[in-house]
Amino acid sequence: MTRPDPTRPRSPLPRRRIVATVALPGLVFGLAAAPSAVNADEPTTMATIGADDFDRDAPSGWGTAPSGGAYRVSAPGSFEVADGTGAITIAATGTSRSARLPELSSLDTAARVELVAPPLPESGNGVYTGVQLRATADGYYQSTVRFTPGGTVTLSQSRINGSTSNQKKLNRDVVIARDVAPGDTVTLETSASGSDSVELRSRAWTGETAPKDWSVATTDDSGDRLDEPGSVGLWAYLSSGSPAGSVTQARFDDLTVRSSDEAAANEAPDAEPTPGASGAQADDEQQDTEPGADTAADTDGTTGGGEQDDTGSNDADTDAGEASEPSGQGTGGAGGASAGGAAGENAGSLPVGEAYYKAPADAVWVKAGASGGDGSSARPFGRISDAVSHASAGGTVVVRAGSYHESVEIPASKKKLTLQSAPGEKVWLDGSTTLDNWTASGSRWVSTGWDHSFDNSPTFAKGAADNDNEHTGFLEKDYPLAAHPEQVWIGSTSLRQVGSLDAVTEGTFFADAAGKRLVIGSDPSGATVRASDRQKALSIKGAGSTVRGIGVTRYANSVWQMGAVTVEADDISLENVLISDNATIGLYAWGDNASVRSVTSTRNGMMGMGANGAHDLSVVESSFTGNNTERFTRKPVSGGLKVTRTTGVTLDGNDLSDNITNGLWLDESVHQATVTANRVVDNGSTGVILEISQDITVAGNVITGSGRYGLWVGSTGDVDIWNNSIGGNTLAAVQFTDDARTNTQAKADKIGQKASEVPWVLQDITVKNNVVSGAGGSCLLCVDDLTKKRTASQMSFAIDSNVYHRFDTDAPSSSVRWAQGSKKPQTFATIQQFSSATGNDRKSFLAEGPAVLSTDATLASAGATAASKVTPSKLDPSVASLLDVPAGTQHSGAW
């Protein structure tokens, strides 16, 4: 394959030192009230040093805990003990309150408390509650449970050094529960241990039973870590984005504090109660910045017109072979914007080895390198394929840690089969093998006996030559070997394929099929050299099957073989699967009702994921980043994710960033799709493409830093575009184009649709509550009819309540370009001119000058000023439910 020196470096997949995970087994600090906690192999002995059931009267503040001493509260009038709980009333937005137990100074500490879901504001970021550990005047660690207006509960961890103006969010919010109502109970457990490096563990849950795994976990070995003992605190905050006049009350119950410090080896004596003691003001009382406002720590293509140019051996291998985890981080766009608030913040798989799925008693077991087994846990099979063959339909195959050098098929006869990693173990399907027979030959090194020759057909038709039309050709002239599946690595560095022996230089390789040898231009001495020698990793043909907790890497799949992993039957689920460094496409689906959740597909040669005819497809909280490393053309197919000919598509909370070409592409009769809360940042071509499709909602997304358009909508009708943050794109931020293509019933019959329902016509478009920023192209929002037959007004646009921005009056010179049928399109220098002429954007505002979007794509100072001049439209209930906010919410841009 062609491994170019990309203008966007092909970054490694580093292990993240600070990790957020929803499935980290085994670490427990012995909290007596945790009924279902998993015991660690060597649990730390801990003693109770404080407890409070709030079953008392306290005339002011919270008084004194039965065990742990008197509370020191930040504003006594906001605190009361009522109905068996400790209550904090907050009547001012952007304000926090805290209560601490200063007598409970401890280094290695664990705390458990019950949180009563508070009354919630109608909009904004909700109410935050939590526990503080190691609290001193120098700072504290905080586990934060956030209750959103829509009933979602999330959990995260932060470190505060000195004050909340210097806070570091240590991981991204993890969703704990949904549809939580005021008065429901959420239990929070958290712990901090160590000093040279601090291990933070937190979990939260609803109901009676604690989860076995920590919800989030962080290792803090930074210079700013808090390595001294401190007190324990309870804390609450009302979002600054809440409507004026909002009031909430956070309530706490059944607090238990334990410590493993040497001084706490014996149980602390009960404190003498002192009713009426309210304590002095706590150290941290102030108008908080929003918790977590900083950046989280290191988480069949169709042909046709497309977007126009701007018109203004099956052996288990137990050695190496372990790929590392993806970074998934991007930079860039919108006058500095890169990632956006909640958009895509939980996207991607757990690192391989951190998923924890229970193994059923009747599971069939696999262990790399085993032989002569029967599939029991004591005598496992040595290959996954053998275990699948042995398993019954509806059974489970559990795979122990190791690298498995094989191609696996779940056959149609094995319906509802589950293939999963053993709890907490690293499992890789690896399509490469180690080569150690290198001989120096001048400035090159040769490995003989390479008896592998892969089909290099560049299209989805095996044996066919590339298309010669500029819109349908797969290969770029500068990268003619893109479709060659061969791959070679020295250590973790991939080599670039060249077409002849004479072209081999440092950093390149030549696959000499005739001579049955590989030739490389870099010295392999002292390094591990791997080359791909298998093409398919996993073919899932058994309906209703599940694959979870594994990694797939380094397969040499040809273009026409579709993905290294293929979903070929209905009702297939993938979860916590990491797919990386494969020759062409990582994952492809054509079965109905597929569920892809928490999957990462990264650094694949052509595309992260594709789907065709995969009706009722759901792709949620997954990551498709850094794909098309081989530099296939942007048309007809390449980049992050492309879906075609599919009715019913849900794309929510994904990260589609840093792909060499397109981010997301819905093409040719995609019908009834929702694209919500995705992060689409720094893609080399267009961020989001909607082409010859129908009935699509695009809401709450961050689309920035694209090499071409931000959002391109072509010959697609019934599109609702709400509350997106779009900026920093090279061409127009939002481009609408109609062309001459039309659907026919003959075409529609092939995918079970009615042509009248998906007519391939640009019509009935709503654009509201967006932030649209740009400096490139010839307009911010552009509407063109390439047929010259219709005006934009005839296409039925409803555009209003948007924040527009450009850095100067001539960048771009037009705010809007408006199709006029056979006449030249009309251009409007300002939004006011556009509004006066068309009636659109009457409640919108155009800002000029400083960036309106900050580095995290939230509103910058100039953006907040501009948004204050806009009257946002009330969110329709159908859109609001997709974004998990109340109907009628008024907000500018993504959250």
**Model confidence band, residue 1 (pLDDT cutoffs 50, 70, 90):** low
Average pLDDT over residues 124-142: 91
Let me know whether 65 and 213 are in one domain. yes
| CB 425 within 8 Å of CB 447 | no
Q: Does residue 106 carry a pLDDT above 70?
A: yes
| CB 399 within 8 Å of CB 424 | no
Q: Which of 264, 298, 315 corresponds to the end of one domain?
A: 264
Q: Which of 485, 516, 532 corresponds to the end of one domain?
A: 532
Return d(Cα 716, Cα 693) in angstroms, integer. 5
Minimum mean pLDDT range among 93-97, 477-481, 633-637? 93-97
User: Model pTM?
Assistant: 0.68
**Model confidence band, residue 212 (pLDDT cutoffs 50, 70, 90):** confident
Burial pattern 214-252, b for ≥16 Cβ within 10 A else e, equals bbbbbbbeeeebbeebbbbbbbbbbbbbbeeebebbbbb
pLDDT at 705: 95
Which residue from 202, 183, 182, 184 is spatially nearest to 192, judged by alpha carbons?
A: 202
pLDDT at 15: 23
**Model confidence band, residue 168 (pLDDT cutoffs 50, 70, 90):** confident
Return d(Cα 824, Cα 59) in angstroms, integer. 77
Q: Is residue 327 part of a domain?
A: no
CA distances from 809 to 218, 459, 460, 813, 815 (A): 47, 45, 46, 6, 9
What's the CATH code of the domain at 437? 2.60.40
pLDDT at 324: 30
Minimum mean pLDDT range among 167-171, 486-490, 707-711? 167-171
| CB 200 within 8 Å of CB 141 | yes
Return d(Cα 486, Cα 491) in angstroms, integer. 16
| CB 12 within 8 Å of CB 324 | yes
What tokens does 540 get? 């899932």
Q: Is residue 813 part of a domain?
A: yes
Mean pLDDT of the chain: 86
pLDDT at 12: 29
Minimum mean pLDDT range among 290-304, 677-691, 734-748? 290-304
pLDDT at 848: 96
Q: Is residue 379 part of a domain?
A: no
Q: Does residue 331 carry a pLDDT above 70?
A: no
Q: Is residue 95 part of a domain?
A: yes
What residue type is 107 in one-letter code? L
**Model confidence band, residue 307 (pLDDT cutoffs 50, 70, 90):** low
Return d(Cα 687, Cα 679) in angstroms, integer. 10
| CB 575 within 8 Å of CB 357 | no
Q: Which of 232, 264, 296 corresponds to the end of one domain?
A: 264
Q: Is residue 345 part of a domain?
A: no
pLDDT at 338: 31
Average pLDDT over residues 128-145: 94
First-to-last C-alpha distance (Å) of the chain = 41
Q: Does residue 103 carry a pLDDT above 50?
A: yes
CA 706 to chain centre: 18
Return d(Cα 24, Cα 810) in angstroms, integer. 53
The position carrying tokens 């040898």 is: 517
C-beta neighbour count of 55 within 10 angstroms: 12
Minimum mean pLDDT range among 74-83, 325-334, 540-549, 789-798? 325-334
| CB 147 within 8 Å of CB 165 | no
Q: Does residue 202 carry a pLDDT above 60?
A: yes
Domain limits for position 481: 432-532
Q: Does residue 347 carry a pLDDT above 60?
A: yes
850 half-sphere exposure, CB direction, 13 A CA radius: 10
What's the CATH code of the domain at 96? 2.60.120.200
Q: Is residue 30 part of a domain?
A: no
Hey, what's the torsion of the CAs at 212, 216, 221, 224, to 10 degrees?
A: -140
pLDDT digits (tens, 9 = 90+) for 264-280: 333 333 332 222 322 32
The position carrying tokens 């920093």 is: 728
Total of domains in the chain: 3
Percent of the chain having pLDDT more than 90?
Answer: 73
Let me know whether 860 and 717 are in one domain. yes
Return d(Cα 893, Cα 879) in angstroms, integer. 14
User: Is the pLDDT higher at 355 or at 33?
Assistant: 355
Q: Does residue 422 carry a pLDDT above 80?
A: yes
Let me know whether 524 and 668 are in one domain. no
Q: Does residue 295 carry a pLDDT above 90?
A: no
Q: Is residue 41 part of a domain?
A: no
Q: Is residue 597 part of a domain?
A: no
Return d(Cα 93, Cα 32) in angstroms, integer. 36
